[in-house]
Amino acid sequence: MNAILKQAAEHWRYVAPLLTPAQTETDYDTLVTVLDELLDEIGGAEGHPLAALAAQMGDLIGAYDSEHFPIPDAPGHEVLRFLMQEHGLRQEDLPEIGPQSVVSEILAGKRQLNVRHIRALTARFNVPADVFF
């Protein structure tokens, strides 16, 4: 056995839980908690020695999310309505979209979100643009 494999074998019991797909919600919660701590440690340093571990853990969490918490497809106006409810906003609170009458038409499905609207909403709510399509 080469030196790298020998070291991996010696430490595997400590590392394996971080690289094993979550089977239960408890496993998932543990991965999320440890990844949060790891990201605090790494900060924004892409070259950090543990950055690859964080990426792998993120992939495992993402896979669990996709399987257990799928995001249903919804029209853009319903996504906007949901985001407004989550943030306690009224139609008047979205001047980046336009006047209240424009927001009302969008929410009623009478008017489509345009590229300018979507850019403003992705910036405001920190969501990917594709949630509005």
pLDDT in tens, 29-84: 999 999 999 999 998 788 899 999 999 999 999 999 888 887 778 899 999 999 99
Angle ∠(7,9,11) on CA atoms, nearest 5: 70
What would the pLDDT profile of 79-117 be if each residue is shown by its tens digit? 999 999 999 999 999 999 999 999 999 999 999 999 999
Q: Give Cβ neighbours of residue 25 (< 8 Å, ≥ 6 apart).
A: 68
Are the CB atoms for 36 and 61 separated by under 8 Å?
A: no
Quick one: tokens of 38? 């790891």
Does the domain formed by 76-132 have CATH 1.10.260.40?
Answer: yes
For the chain, give every domain's residue range.
3-69, 76-132
